[in-house]
């Protein structure tokens, strides 16, 4: 029973670390996973040294923790791919949004799309789903092919200043994540908003109204 309680305690610590990840540096997030893995692995190894299952789990957690420690020490910032930065491969694709800071800037940008459909992405540094969309959805080659035929706009509402609030109010949004789609004349496509996280397959379906 004590082992089960400690396991769920580790899960709770992991959940807390994930929840605060948007407001702490990326290196601290990875370092947190390293500390959690090594500490729990050490506990399993030394609390029941003769129990093969506990030793196996302890070695696994400790190894994962050490992997994260190596990652943060060598400049890694992604706990899901701790050594990817050491591979020397091609860096992940970056989505180039045009940043707008106010309703006036948005209207000006929509008036200059040249007949292309447009997308407005509401983003904030503390928005976990926004970062998941950037990492897993916007980098999909099929999504990027769609993006190449669109005007990509983004507003960062991290500061939650007067302009940010005015933009949210205009579209009746409580906050990010939220994506507004516009036709080639700069008119919002009613009922076609993307609210919350969507994986690449779902997002491609949402974009069908713009680029079939």
83-132 per-position pLDDT tens digit: 766 665 444 556 889 999 999 999 999 999 999 999 999 998 888 788 88
* Residue 103: closest CA among 1, 195, 192, 171: 171
Is 91 contained in some domain? no
Fill in the DSSP letter of residue 188.
Answer: B
128 phi, psi to nearest 5 deg:
-65, -45
From 86, 107, 134, give the residue that closes a domain: 86
Same domain (yes/no): 109, 71: no
Based on the fold, state whether residues 54 and 153 are members of the same structural domain.
no
- Which structural domain range is residue 69 located in? 2-86
212 lies in a domain? no
Of 40, 59, 86, which closes a domain?
Answer: 86
pLDDT of residue 199: 94
CA 187, distance to chain mean position in Å, is 28
- Distance (Å, rounded) from C-alpha 66 to C-alpha 70? 6
The verdict on 82 and 9 lying in the same domain is yes
Instruction: Return d(Cα 82, Cα 67) in angstroms, integer.
Output: 7
Report the domain count for the chain: 2
| pTM of the complete model | 0.67
């Amino acid at each position: 029973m004590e082992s089960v309680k400690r396991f769920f305690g580790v899960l709770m610590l992991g959940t807390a670390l994930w929840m605060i990840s948007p407001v702490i540096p990326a290196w601290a997030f990875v370092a947190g996973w390293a500390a959690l893995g090594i500490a729990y692995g050490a506990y399993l190894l030394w609390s029941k040294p003769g129990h093969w299952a506990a030793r196996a789990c302890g070695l696994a957690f400790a190894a994962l923790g050490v992997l994260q420690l190596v990652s943060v020490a060598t400049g890694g910032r992604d706990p899901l791919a701790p050594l990817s930065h050491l591979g020397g491969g091609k860096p992940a694709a970056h989505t180039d949004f045009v940043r707008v800071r106010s309703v006036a800037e948005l209207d000006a940008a929509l008036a200059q799309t040249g007949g292309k459909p447009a997308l407005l992405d509401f983003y904030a540094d503390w928005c976990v789903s926004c970062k998941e969309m950037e990492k897993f959805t916007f980098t999909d080659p099929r999504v990027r092919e769609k993006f190449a035929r669109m005007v990509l706009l983004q507003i960062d509402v991290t500061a939650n200043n007067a302009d940010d609030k005015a933009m949210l109010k205009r579209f009746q949004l409580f906050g990010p994540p939220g994506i507004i789609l516009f036709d080639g004349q700069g008119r919002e496509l009613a009922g076609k908003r993307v609210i919350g996280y969507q994986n690449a397959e779902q997002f491609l379906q949402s974009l069908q109204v713009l680029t079939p």
